[in-house]
Structure 1
């Protein structure tokens, strides 16, 4: 890793604007991060719990797993999903649901990521507006920057979600109350989200090949 860090520092100095500093410690952290991304899921989670979660209050668990899985994709490895509470994969996106950092019961963090192998050929504007699914016992709230206004068929204005740079982040609030009926599982929530992304994009599959895996 030390050798890799030095190479990264040299390479970065070649591509960044002249005069912009890239410190060796940053290069070393990146080298370590890349090494962790290639490990087993228990090591990935342990790195989050012991090191990465302390990088700053702005750095969330879904941010960490998004970056880990981006690197795993480059390495040709499967996404690290085993330690999420629930996950689902659609044609055009994948969803992972994590326990909220507060540890409060009924609070979850949700990360949606576009499957770039299937979306890179689609028009960029197609990812600016999606409807939030109705999932009994759950309220889905997009994080700042990921909300989008939606006008429904009955001319009612509501809140939807959008992708920014290939991702969308939201929170899920879960309530179990007999008056509401059976609360859907988090897996069902994840599946409903990927379905709501797939539905408006499905027509493209007739002309643009997709990877179903």
Structure 2
């Protein structure tokens, strides 16, 4: 982990950083914030075996210069990796055995979620809650208890303009491979491959989404 030792800026297992300066809208389904590891500082790159990672923006920089790359995240009691209200690349991570989502973006924008291995998530593998313009590509998502990849929003605040491209989704247990709920709009789902997901390989209940060129 290349973060220095500034515990005023981030926390892990009970070491608490400063409160966020901004307020987030209530998250869908009333989910609480994860406890675990918070990134709260520009220019921070994590690369270590840990249990969970959580990032919140601090006002003006909105995640500028931060990335979450090449970590092994195992056995989180909540979400494996979570980013709120920010633009943060998430790439090359292995996330397994999370109690909730493997990777959760809440009200994130223009973030890249690329080339991660996400498996054995207690709910969804990769989840986009509201937000816009995120790029989810080249991920392998296996054995989720919920959907492999899901986008969800509010009627007044849709999950929109995401690109979900070239992912491999397998063995979603009791749910869809990729799910676009009725509060999504203007998303693109292209070039994804699916194997043995329990319900639909792709379930598009949204508005003006583009779903083409997938292997089902």
> Whose Rg is larger?
1
Q: Which has the higher contact order (CA 8 A, sep 6+)?
A: 1
Instruction: Name the one with the larger helix percent.
Output: 1
Same-fold status (TM-score > 0.5): no
TM-score, structure 1 length as denominator? 0.30
TM-score, structure 2 length as denominator? 0.30
